[in-house]
């Protein structure tokens, strides 16, 4: 691995860990900051929405926190059993978080534009994760690896959202407009990157 790739890998891992732990802030401190500051009191006291919200951020944080490990050949080859255990935890966490994300997506700040963006992300995350699981059950390693790349690219939207949102909010001077854009911007470039990564690795996703 050259110096540029090594730096990119370190930044990638740090961002995954930091944002993976970020949801704990909503558990241990006052909730009304960040994205929750834009939510109505009626929504914040809704039991089903709260179950969806915490299910999404906590399991999504877990998936983000452990998912990067699976892309290290060194760690994977050192202990294949550990790779499988982490993979199972990731799949369960992704399915729970993705399902909850689709539900709370209907209540997204910014209306239908934001909702469609986040619901689409949730559906793609679920599809690629389940497809990856079914592929490994059939011992189709190429399809499994390719779909896991797409799955984690969708998961990594949690990171890119938190990079783009403050920048766009500052540039546009309007949080809601920025949020509508970020509902799509947080994951579409990730999926494009994943597409070229899969293509570069020569993985066949037939």
The CB-side HSE value for 145 (13 A sphere, CA atoms) comes to 15
pLDDT of residue 79: 85
Q: How far apart are CA 180 and CA 110, in angstroms?
A: 6
Check residue 45 and give its pLDDT.
Answer: 85
Task: Name the pTM for this structure.
Answer: 0.91
Cβ 59 vs Cβ 51: under 8 Å: no
Pairwise CA distance, residues 62 & 56, whole Å: 10
Taking the C-alpha atoms of residue 12 and residue 17, their distance in angstroms, rounded to an integer, is 9
Residue 38 pLDDT: 72
**pLDDT averaged per 10 residues in sequence order, the chain, 206 residues:** 83 92 77 70 88 94 94 85 94 97 95 97 98 94 94 97 95 94 97 94 74
d(CA 168, CA 193): 21
């Amino acid at each position: 691995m050259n110096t540029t790739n090594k730096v990119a890998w370190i930044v990638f891992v740090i961002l995954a860990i930091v944002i993976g732990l970020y949801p704990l802030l909503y558990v241990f401190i006052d909730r009304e900051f960040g994205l929750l500051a834009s939510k109505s009191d009626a929504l914040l006291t809704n039991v089903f929405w709260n179950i969806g919200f915490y299910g999404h951020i906590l399991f999504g944080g877990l998936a983000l926190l452990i998912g990067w490990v699976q892309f290290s050949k060194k760690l994977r080859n050192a202990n294949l059993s550990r790779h499988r255990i982490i993979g199972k935890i990731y799949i369960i966490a992704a399915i729970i978080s993705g399902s909850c994300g689709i539900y709370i997506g209907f209540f997204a700040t910014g209306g239908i534009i934001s909702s469609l963006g986040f619901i689409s992300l949730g559906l793609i995350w679920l599809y690629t994760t389940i497809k990856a699981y079914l592929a490994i059950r059939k011992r189709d390693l190429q399809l499994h690896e390719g779909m896991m790349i797409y799955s984690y690219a969708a998961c990594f939207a949690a990171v890119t959202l938190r990079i783009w949102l403050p920048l766009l909010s500052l540039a546009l001077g309007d949080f809601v407009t920025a949020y509508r854009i970020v509902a799509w911007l947080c994951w579409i470039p990730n999926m494009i990157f994943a597409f070229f990564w899969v293509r570069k690795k020569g993985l066949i996703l037939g």
